[in-house]
Amino acid sequence: MAGAIVGIPATINYKTTDDVQRDEILVSGQKVDWEGEAGQSLQNSIVLTEKAKRFMIAREIQYTNSNHLYGTATLLTGSCLVAYTTGFYVNRGFQLQRIMKRWARGIVFTAIAGAYGVLFKVLYDAQQCRRDRKADKKTAAMGVNYLEGGIEYYTKVLNRNMALRKLMGPEGEKLYTIYGNKVSTWSDPTVQLTARRDLMVKLYRDRLEKEKEAREKAKEAESEKSEQAKHVQS
């Protein structure tokens, strides 16, 4: 029997800013100035509405319904096997044992392993980003309330990160961008938060547009029925 454990942050119990346990929250080991602009922003960002809470929980459940662990294991095993096979045939084809010393062959094999390590990282990040988008889309498909909750949730997370960036000073600038995304160097292990929020906004607008078109078609059909009924009576 398969199962999963979904972690829920303690802040999910907050219903208003009065519920925030200010004395227990530390940023970089320091107490927060809750009266300042950044402190107020942080306080507001950690209090979620019921819609945002439902979206967050539903999204985590969607994560557990993926084959992420099997995909990662397959990707890692495949990368190791291909790297070993490449090293084996390079060694045999170029007869490295005859023309190179052991330390030089070690450099060659290390370079091959490093190349496939980078390839694994790129493919793993792509798989993780695909998993993020899939979880967001499946959660959004559960209803308009989840879409609205998703927009609020990602907006709050971005606001929280921007507040932390200010409160943490230089350390925060290394962790978060001015837009609230996590700072990444040469790879993106997850979809950027702004992109995830924008996806929710796009799906929400598309849903409203479809509902509007459906209402217009229903009105047209009703109008046609009324016209037909008038012709019959006449």
pTM, two decimals, is 0.87
The band of 4, judged by pLDDT with boundaries at 50, 70 and 90, is: confident
CA atoms of 159 and 97, how far apart (whole Å):
58
Angle (deg, nearest 10), helices 68-93 and 102-140: 160
Are β-strands 26-27 and 30-31 bridged in parallel, bridged antiparallel, or unpaired?
antiparallel
Terminal Cα-to-Cα distance of the chain (whole angstroms): 69
2 falls in which pLDDT band (50, 70, 90)? low
> Kind and range of the H or E element at 185?
none
The β-bridge partners of 26 are 31
User: How do residues 103-117 score in pLDDT, each as one tens digit?
Assistant: 999 999 999 999 999
Residue 48 has a CB neighbour count (10 Å cut-off) of: 21
SS3 8: coil
Q: Please name which of 149, 131, 129 lies closest in space to residue 141, comparing C-alpha atoms.
A: 149
Which residues in the chain belong to E strands, given as ranges?
26-27, 30-31
Q: What is the mean pLDDT of the chain?
A: 91
The per-residue pLDDT for range 138-179, each reduced to its tens digit, is 999 999 999 999 999 999 999 999 999 999 999 999 999 999
In the chain, where the domains are located: 20-222
Structure tokens at 48: 């979620």
